[in-house]
Amino acid sequence: MTMTAAAAAPPPKRQKLHGRAFYESIGSPKRIVAPMVDASELAWRILSRKYNADAAYSPMFHARLFAETEPYRRQSLRSAPTSDVESSQAYDGEHKSDRPFLIQFCANDPQHLLAAAKIAQHHCDAVDLNLGCPQGIAKKGHYGAFLQEQPDLIYKLINTLHKELDVPVTAKIRILDTEEKTLAYAKMVLDAGASILTVHGRRREQKSHNTGLADWTYIRYLRKNLPADTVIFANGNILYNTDVEACLDATGADGVMCAETNLYNPAVFVPVTASFEERFPRVDVMCRQYLQIVQDVTFGVGNPITELPKEQVREHPSLSSIKSHLFRLLHAVFTKKENHFIRNMLAKAHGSKFEELLKMAIELERVVEEQLKLTPETPEQWEEIMKEAGGSGADAKVLPIPWWRCQPYVRPTPQQAYENGAMQKSKKQLKDSKRELDTEFNPSSNTGEELPAKRQKLNPSTENTKQVDQVANADPNLQSN
């Protein structure tokens, strides 16, 4: 069944709920997988739900391309099967394995957005508008966070869906310069018809190595100043399971959305009361579970593996995204030089040849088992690691989790990124740095009050500052929108 055919013969119209009534109708989810470009596809959502995610979003789709281009639609969503032969294959929005499910679009034209949403609404519980993407492609395409200066357009985009769709509309935003401006922005989005407001506690310019901490106080401010029945999801600063509860407590949000850390440890939503084994699963176990889900989604449960042409691989998002997922899952494994051969196996593998990925998984299992024979794990070791757990934001600790267990990726600080060549300073930054150094060695040109601040900025040498910087640059949600 094509997406066009699905749109031509929609299922019976259901009752449309709004706001908290809608939220409660989908089970009041608290742990939500974020919309991530090429990363929150069907197989990954199924895996995340296995590890306690309550709801999930699709990857971000481009509304105009989705509405106008059938190949793009086929690559974005898999429709329900049309025969008993295909019934073993999962599809997007399947009620048994993929709900609650929200589909996210980026758009800057209300009619393009409506056309795409009308097709997608039969696959999901709600349609979400991306107002948070801070990346250069969003600036070039004029969508995401780069619509902030056009409140009238944002209102029309949301309100059009609110009036015309059979399902609710939701929206994901970033905070603005002040709490008051952010509150006015949030009120406008809600007045336009959004049933759920997701708030990423970072500003538009906070991205890449300059991500910094998400500001939960902004989300708390919104909670206190918006109507009590407003449904709010908080996003940002999630490294460990403990951060989920900490975020709920600090913000008063109804749910917590997680992006990047979910990609490195899908068990991030497992309760804090669970065992260390459950909260930080072995990478070989997680890899094997994920591959099995991709196999079932791609070929059907119990069906043999076949080699697919490249054009068919592109129409299977769960298959075409597999290598990027595995590189993230295994990032700690690859910090060990002796494991680089596994990285090379993964790099050379092709999505069209699934057996190559299974061979890599076998080698990974062997390596982990050999490591555990050399250094057996004990409950005492786990307890020692977990003593450091807890805290959020600048108080969070980076836990010394062994490489054979799933764990978050902690991004280098800006200074480390400059030193290892991951970032290059612009001409303006170089001039500013030279000016600051000149000022440092010529203090007579500044007041005594300014000088200590400049010295502190140039010499963040204390261990505490290093630790804060390390955590501040974690979970920047580069894929999240």
Q: Flag whether 68 is in a domain.
A: yes
pLDDT of 2 reads: 46
Element (H, E) at 234: strand 231-235
Residue 284's pLDDT band (cuts 50, 70, 90):
very high
Q: Per residue in 348-377, pLDDT tens?
A: 998 788 999 999 999 999 999 999 999 999
pLDDT of 437 reads: 52
pLDDT of 82 reads: 65
Residue 473 pLDDT exceeds 50: no
Q: Flag whether 348 is in a domain.
A: no
Strand (E) positions, 14-98?
Answer: 31-33, 55-62
- Could you give the CA distance from residue 42 to residue 93 in angstroms, rounded to a whole number? 9
**Which amino acid belongs to residue 122?**
H
Q: Which of 163, 141, 220 is nearest to 186 (CA)?
A: 220
Q: Flag whether 424 is in a domain.
A: no
Residue 206's pLDDT band (cuts 50, 70, 90):
confident
Residue 394, phi then psi, degrees to nearest 5: -70, -15
pLDDT of 394 reads: 52
- Which residues are known catalytic residues? 133
Global pTM reads: 0.84
Average pLDDT of the residues in 181-188: 98
Average pLDDT of the residues in 237-243: 93
- Could you give the CA distance from residue 61 to residue 55 in angstroms, rounded to a whole number? 18
Residue 423's pLDDT band (cuts 50, 70, 90):
low
Residue 247's pLDDT band (cuts 50, 70, 90):
very high
* Share above pLDDT 90 across residues of the chain, in percent, rounded to a whole number: 65
Q: What is the residue range of 172's domain? A: 3-277
Q: Flag whether 304 is in a domain.
A: no
- Tokens coding 194: 């959004």
Residue 434 pLDDT exceeds 70: no
Q: Flag whether 296 is in a domain.
A: no
Q: Flag whether 259 is in a domain.
A: yes
- Could you give the CA distance from residue 417 to residue 424 in angstroms, rounded to a whole number? 8
Residue 270 pLDDT exceeds 80: yes
Higher pLDDT, 160 or 411: 160
Supply the mean pLDDT for the chain.
85
CATH code, domain with 104: 3.20.20.70
Question: Dihedral of CA 335/339/344/349: which sign?
Answer: negative
- Could you give the CA distance from residue 269 to residue 241 in angstroms, rounded to a whole number? 6
- Tokens coding 392: 């959020």
- Could you give the CA distance from residue 464 to residue 476 in angstroms, rounded to a whole number? 21
* Share above pLDDT 70 across residues of the chain, in percent, rounded to a whole number: 79
Average pLDDT of the residues in 302-321: 86
* Overall number of domains in the chain: 1
Residue 414's pLDDT band (cuts 50, 70, 90):
low
Question: Dihedral of CA 70/68/96/317: which sign?
Answer: positive
- Could you give the CA distance from residue 8 to residue 79 in angstroms, rounded to a whole number? 13
Q: Flag whether 457 is in a domain.
A: no
Q: Per residue in 134-147, pLDDT tens?
A: 988 999 999 999 99
pLDDT of 295 reads: 94
Q: Flag whether 156 is in a domain.
A: yes
Question: Dihedral of CA 169/174/179/184: which sign?
Answer: negative
- Could you give the CA distance from residue 247 to residue 235 in angstroms, rounded to a whole number? 9
Task: With H, G, I as helix, E, B as strand and everything else as coil, classify residue 235.
Answer: strand
pLDDT of 302 reads: 86
Element (H, E) at 105: strand 101-106
Q: Per residue in 1-42, pLDDT tens?
A: 444 444 445 555 668 999 999 999 999 999 999 999 989 999
* C-beta separation of 42 from 297 below 8 A: yes
Higher pLDDT, 306 or 427: 306
